Amino acid sequence: LDRPEPLRLSEWAAQHFYLSSESSYVEGKWEAYPYQIGLMDCISNDDIREVTLIKSARVGYTKIILASMGYFAEHKRRNQSMWQPVDDDRDDFVKTELDTMIRDVKAVQRVFPWYNARSKNNTLQQKKFIGSILHLRGGKAAKNYRRLSVDVAYLDELDGFDTDVEGEGDPVSLAAKRIEGASFPKLVCGSTPKLADLSMIESRTKSADLLLRYHIPCPHCGHRQALY
């Protein structure tokens, strides 16, 4: 009997994750920026139930989510679901980001025997791995939040969602219901904020139990200052 050594997400990504040519400026092995490591390890920490990232554009959040999907599929074998604001966003994400990640990350291919095959287990709506499944949905329709029981739920670009999904509630509450009952539930939300005081990601950030900011030292005096 053999069990792999437990790894944090940042460690797993350093060993296995790869930046595909179709979705990256520079193709090659993943090397995390210093500010990305803490975020990645919060996502993989089983003691942390919710992770919310309020961010600017082009900080690598999509790549972190991709690495997380591979990590939970291959390393922890947990069921996952991701919602994008609309179905078209979901389709683009699967075609340009997820499918190319599966192609280039050999560790993920080992638990996805349907790669490059026409199969009900390899569609725009779901990827069925050995030991787990990943659901991919648009966020406009309330039906897209029903009949799912997962361990990890992602909401990408939260401020692009409707604040009330067809009269059934906000997307965060609907997604959170999908992880109720999980042994190690995880809800990950990220977005660039839009209108102040109307932003869902801003509201979640303000209500968080703990707010972490990445600090960098001033090159002149050494005093550490927050980037945000």
157 annotated active-site: yes
Which of 171, 166, 178 has the alpha carbon at shortest distance from 204?
Answer: 171
User: Tokens representing 168?
Assistant: 């059934």
Please report, for residues 66, 69, 175, the alpha-carbon distance to residue 8 in angstroms, rounded to integers and kept in the order given: 15, 13, 24
Identify the residue whose tokens are 């961010």: 55
User: Tokens representing 188?
Assistant: 């990950």
Out of 22, 31, 97, 157, which one is annotated catalytic? 157
Find the length of the chain.
228
Q: How far apart are CA 94 and CA 195, in angstroms?
A: 28
Active site members: 157
